[in-house]
Chain A
């Protein structure tokens, strides 16, 4: 661990100087050129159809890149959502002569609502459930498309689908679709750097850590899922207008697998990958048309592709290429100055920051925590100790909301947080670290800490703009001595440094109370000394700390007040030295003679 250099100016990524739209100007220039080309260049009908298909499919695959790539949730019903949009435009314009735009919007909204409902019913559960439920949903939608003949015309499909008056000619309609693709692509490309996108990445990397960093995990997943479905609906609506005919087999489970394969092949993490995958999987089958003569052969090869990509190229083609590009790109970063970290813990209640009364947690018949009282004084360092299995970590997990209390009450700064979910406790001012480190592994140290800084209720980031977040995160990283390495990925840090990053993530949030779960576990002796030093500097700023640890030296030196647990019950509580000499404590640790 390097010596902390809290007040020294450090080189970091400069706050983004140019306005965002200006920096992204080349993208829009490229998009305009592309749209102009499609609108003016004459192509034959065959090529036109391929382009039409590729454009609309790519939008649907962008949806998968959001849900699977960014948020780590699976959706095996994208073709069904695609079908929502396609049938809305198809039935609406052809049977009921409703305006194309209205139908397109209705299709998107229907897909969005279906996606949200599906997500709400399933996303609290694990990924297996989601996979199976989306497959089931896909089958149901296909059943409905085939069997509700009065509405969907059944297996015959819907023909004579209309287009908007503005884009009547096939070529202008294609140009319109390409323009939509460019806009959606811009949004999806930019999403990872927006608040919602960051939350999605955090959820993908580590759900528990995301929750205690103040992210509503469930809502983030539902948003990702609904967004994916809406993009599917949009793509389907455009598709229906482009081909003027839709039938149920175009929206079957097989098509969902095609979308998934496109997404995986190109690289699920980026819209560029989605576009590559879509393009390839539309072109390759055209080159290998002979495969289509044997039913099944074609999809069998897709299945094989999926297995091989997952095994040998998990990040897809674009992931592979961009990793290679990254190695060539120089990593020189512009200089910026970071201010010293300010901690301004909120002071709403009285002298007691945390008041726990009669807290119990039973697992079946096991009383892991049994009627425990803890009162943590404002500005103090309070330690919770006890032998292995005494219920310390369980207590911490109940405090931070990962477990639901069986009985008892938890007051944080006068607010009752007993029944709040983890992210709302964080919003109320709780910060914590984990015994087994939980960082967002695919992100840099800076991004990890930025997610902490983004805590709802953090008063020190102003409006929460990108610059304020980066500045706050840099301050926290500098405070723990890792400022110069802010832009490195988590995997390049040692265990001890990862622990510091976790502490920085909690500090950046400017919590009212910091819970540290065995921060000294796994550290060597010099790292422990530095940790002790760091705790002193945190406490000096008036932040209240509740620490769990085995290291008696650390506990007795750092903490003014100690609560001792044994077999889930409080056996001693009071001023440090008195508690450590307490006969019950001595016998709990050393055994009785």
Chain B
């Protein structure tokens, strides 16, 4: 990338558009992972600190199936998502479910333990060398006026739009979605109405593992597939949920997009090595000045 300071004004405009596109693409990934965060948080009232590792594991599964074994991309994709569904179920049974009656602190510590376990198990199996995963399409992208639209970014944005729409339809217009909502709002009442709370929580974990996995598979061709990608993405996604308003679905998406854009511009105009620091800076600003986020309301504990 050219140094922005030495470009002509309309070239600056072009660069801005290009950065905006890239930012939205990256932001969409954060939004997808943030969505997984929010779903688990609403269902269980705990933040799953291993959410980012779901993305990382799915990306490695893709590398195993599509690169190492050389299977077709679509088949690898489906197998990876199936693997994530399985991981979500195991995660629920092994980490969350036994602790469901304990306070939030033991639960988040356990999910942090799980995140360390997942990341380092992959490291032990695969080694520290980052892996490369090809994009879904043969065509690298299309030139639209001054802006070059990378095909993988286009795919990411499209999938995010589809998933957000699906999410809305699923939770607002299906019985299962309504049962999931009921469970997240009042577990006792839901169980009295004959809803199996443990099944609903299981579904939530599976769904959000698949969602996290999807984000990981989509972003893998853009970044390298590495052990650290999980924690990096999770950190941004969490920041996105705070910026948007904790526990709010629309907030998570807006927050994710905003963060992607801020980060891309920050890297281009301020500093590349500190790219990952901008999310933290924005996060702290929000925590200090607007802790309830863009959409959130201040909630007081009932006495």
Contacts and interface: CB of A to CB of B under 8 A. Distances in A.
B231 to A, nearest CB: 7
Contacts of B118: 303
Interface in A398-417: 400, 402-403
Given A121-B288, A127-B105, A300-B121, A307 B235 contact: no
Interface residues of A, number: 54
B266 interface: no
A362 interface: no
B120 interface: yes
A257 interface: yes
A422 B231 CA distance: 38
Interface string B172-199: 0000000000000000000000000000
A303 B114 contact: yes
A122 interface: yes
Interface in B107-159: 108-110, 112-124, 127-128
Interface string A184-215: 00000000000000000000000110000000
B127 to A, nearest CB: 7
A136 B94 contact: no
B292 to A, nearest CB: 9
A125 B291 contact: yes
A393 interface: yes
Given A128-B47, A296-B121, A393-B303, A310 B106 contact: yes
B105 A74 contact: yes
Given A296-B227, A303-B117, A310 B280 contact: no
A298 interface: yes
A397 interface: yes
B29 interface: no
B141 to A, nearest CB: 31
A500 to B, nearest CB: 19
A296 B120 contact: yes
Contacts of A434: 303
Given A74-B108, A295-B124, A131 B277 contact: no
A222 to B, nearest CB: 14
Nearest to B125: A296
Nearest to B238: A132
Nearest to B277: A140
Interface in B263-289: 273-274, 276-277, 279-280, 283-284, 287-288
A148 B21 CA distance: 31
B283 A133 contact: yes
Q: How large is the interface on B (under 10, 10 to 19, 20 to 34, 35 or more residues)?
A: 35 or more
A282 to B, nearest CB: 18
A108 interface: no
B124 A143 contact: no
Contacts of B94: 307
Contacts of B242: 129, 132
- Of B49, B99, B117, B273, the most chain A CB neighbours within 10 A belong to B117
Interface string B75-97: 00000000000000000001100
A41 interface: no
A136 B286 CA distance: 14
A515 B218 CA distance: 58
Contact of B116 (A136, A139, A303): A303
Interface in A243-299: 253-254, 257, 260, 264, 294-299
Interface string A113-137: 0000000011011111101110111
A302 interface: yes
B98 interface: yes
A502 to B, nearest CB: 13
Contacts of B120: 296-300, 302-303
B301 interface: yes
- Of B116, B118, B239, B301, the most chain A CB neighbours within 10 A belong to B116
A181 B132 CA distance: 48
B69 interface: no
B277 A143 contact: yes
A588 B279 CA distance: 55
A314 interface: yes
Interface string A202-243: 000001100000000000000000000000000000000000
A303 B287 contact: no
Contacts of A74: 105, 108-109
A257 B115 CA distance: 11
B99 A311 contact: yes
B108 A140 contact: no
Contacts of A396: 303
A112 interface: no
A132 B235 contact: yes
A510 to B, nearest CB: 22
A257 B127 contact: no
Contact of B112 (A131, A133, A400): A131
Nearest to B235: A136
A303 B279 CA distance: 26
B86 to A, nearest CB: 18
B98 A299 contact: no
Contacts of A307: 94-95, 110, 113-114, 117
B166 interface: no
A303 B113 contact: yes
Interface in A155-199: none
Contact of B113 (A253, A296, A310): A310
Nearest to A120: B288
Nearest to A314: B106
A456 B301 CA distance: 24
Contact of B276 (A143, A208, A253): A143
B300 interface: yes
A305 interface: yes
B171 interface: no
B123 A296 contact: yes
Interface in A297-329: 297-300, 302-307, 310-311, 314
Given A131-B108, A136-B280, 9 more contacts: A128-B104, A254-B116, A295-B124, A296-B128, A303-B116, A310-B109, A311-B98, A396-B303, A403-B300
8 contacts: A74-B109, A131-B49, A139-B235, A296-B119, A296-B124, A302-B120, A303-B120, A434-B303
Interface of A: 72, 74, 76, 121-122, 124-129, 131-133, 135-137, 139-140, 143, 147, 207-208, 253-254, 257, 260, 264, 294-300, 302-307, 310-311, 314, 393, 396-397, 400, 402-403, 434-435, 438, 517
The 10 A-B residue pairs whose C-beta atoms are closest, nearest first, are A306-B113, A296-B123, A303-B117, A303-B116, A300-B120, A296-B124, A296-B120, A299-B120, A297-B124, A128-B47
